[in-house]
Amino acid sequence: MILGVSEWLSDKLGWNANYIRIAFVVGVLFFGVGLGLYLILWLVKMFSK
């Protein structure tokens, strides 16, 4: 929601953006990888235009 990654990824994969947001939150809370993955995907999104 902050950088638009979930919406962009949902368009690419055809999934619901809310499920992707929930997956990022679960990744941050339980595994600690959600934030890093989010930032990496944001960089991919920025340079793929």
Containing structural domain, residue 14: 5-47
Contacting residues for 26 by C-beta, under 8 A, at least 6 apart: 34
pTM of the model: 0.73
Which tokens is 45 given? 């999104």
Q: What is the pLDDT of residues 4-47, one digit of tens each?
A: 888 999 999 999 999 988 988 888 888 877 778 888 888 999 99
Number of domains in the chain: 1
Q: How far apart are CA 24 and CA 46, in angstroms?
A: 19
Identify whether the C-beta of residue 42 lies closer than 8 Å to the C-beta of residue 3.
yes
Higher pLDDT, 1 or 2: 2
Identify whether the C-beta of residue 37 lies closer than 8 Å to the C-beta of residue 27.
yes
Which tokens is 39 given? 């930032």
